[in-house]
Structure 1
Amino acid sequence: MVKPFVFAALLAGSAIGTPMPQATGVPTPTTLMSGAYWIRGVAAPNYHKYLQTKPANVPGTAILDSHTTAGQFAIESGQLVNKASNPPLYMWVEEPADKANPPRTLATWFNTTKSPFGTFAWSGDTLTWSVPSVKRQNLGAWLVCAKQALFVNTGAYAYQTPSGCADQTIHYYNDKTANN
């Protein structure tokens, strides 16, 4: 099994700077599909930045970015699924080696296979992620860091935020079109 950080590095290019072939994105429908939601930040600095990959709708790092390339999501059996991609993409969360003392940031990405680690759910309109082996103060706490990458925040929301990151909660939005 490819470790999450290795998988992310493979997607971004090699460590020595040799360019990797870039995947071509799949256009995102501009009208919300039945049974799907947009997912977006609702506070600065990520106000109305939407969950997606770049390029859009292909396996890669989960980011918050433009409404014009937003993914469309549903939760199915605890899996967060991008319904705008073909095949569907599933959100993964990095599994820390030391679950009792996980790092502050757990990387997230989308893959074509279901994630074996953790469960996604809605708490009202807030996207949450949990797994019994990793204790979190706020199941809806996320961090947006370099290049708009989305991380699970294992610490307290808005307290000792890692440098270069912004605390964020992300929420579904079900209007017909994504907006800025």
Structure 2
Amino acid sequence: MVKPAVFAALLAGSAMATPMPQATGVPTPVTLLSGAYWIRAVSAPNFHKYLQTKPANLPGTAILDSHTTAGQFAIESGQLVNKASNPPLYLWVEEPADKANPPRTLATWFNTTKSPFGAFAWQGDTLTWSVASIKRQNVGAWLVCAKQALVINTGAYGYQTPSGCVDQTIHYYNDKTANN
């Protein structure tokens, strides 16, 4: 017979060895939703990497990754909205303390509430972000940094790129399916 204290210890040990369930995300529809776009890079080293979060369609860091888990986006009143998520996710941009001298990179992430800082727009098929309080040479300049994180580039495109990052522009794509 196992003593209650030993049984409790065995039970606790087995519970600790069992992995916790991980968020798996919301599957992305494989065909483009009406009024939405895929957003992807079109140059190396991120050629045809798509905007999304990991896990897919849940709040988190904005990244460029596989076409199989790409988000689907629209711009609504200056907000970039992931239409494949439920609830919709909005792209946020880090608001620096010193807007006259912002850091070279501003983090981006998706959240379930609308972003109060800046506005997204299309310039042709290029995704841009701007805010009156930060002067940027190129409102379509982005960087892809560690772990494929997509960040706003506040400096010149292709000049003094921060270590560990690559310059990137991202563009909408409106074919029925995302492709590699």
TM over 0.5: yes
Q: CA RMSD in A?
A: 1.3
- Aligned residue pair count: 162
Equivalent position of 1:151 in the other structure: 151
> 2:120 aligned with 1:120, yes or no?
yes
1:70 Cα deviation from its structure 2 partner: 0.1
Instruction: Tell me, in whole angstroms, the C-alpha distance in 2 between the residues paired with 1:77 and 1:164.
Output: 33
Instruction: Tell me, in whole angstroms, the C-alpha distance in 2 between the residues paired with 1:114 and 1:82.
Output: 11
> 2:49 aligned with 1:68, yes or no?
no
> 2:47 aligned with 1:47, yes or no?
yes
Instruction: Tell me, in whole angstroms, the C-alpha distance in 2 between the residues paired with 1:83 and 1:51.
Output: 12
SS in 1 for 2:121: strand
Instruction: Tell me, in whole angstroms, the C-alpha distance in 1 between the residues paired with 2:85 and 2:173.
Output: 18
1:24 Cα deviation from its structure 2 partner: 2.5
Alignment gaps of 5+ in structure 1: 1-19
- Look at both structures and tell me which one has the larger radius of gyration over its CA atoms: 2
> 2:37 aligned with 1:37, yes or no?
yes
Amino acid at match of 1:152: I
SS in 2 for 1:68: helix
SS in 1 for 2:147: helix
Instruction: Tell me, in whole angstroms, the C-alpha distance in 1 between the residues paired with 2:97 and 2:114.
Output: 20
1:21 Cα deviation from its structure 2 partner: 7.3
Percent sequence identity over aligned pairs: 90
1:120 Cα deviation from its structure 2 partner: 0.1
Equivalent position of 2:160 in the other structure: 160
Equivalent position of 1:174 in the other structure: 174
SS in 2 for 1:84: coil
Instruction: Tell me, in whole angstroms, the C-alpha distance in 1 between the residues paired with 2:86 and 2:24.
Output: 12
1:22 Cα deviation from its structure 2 partner: 4.1
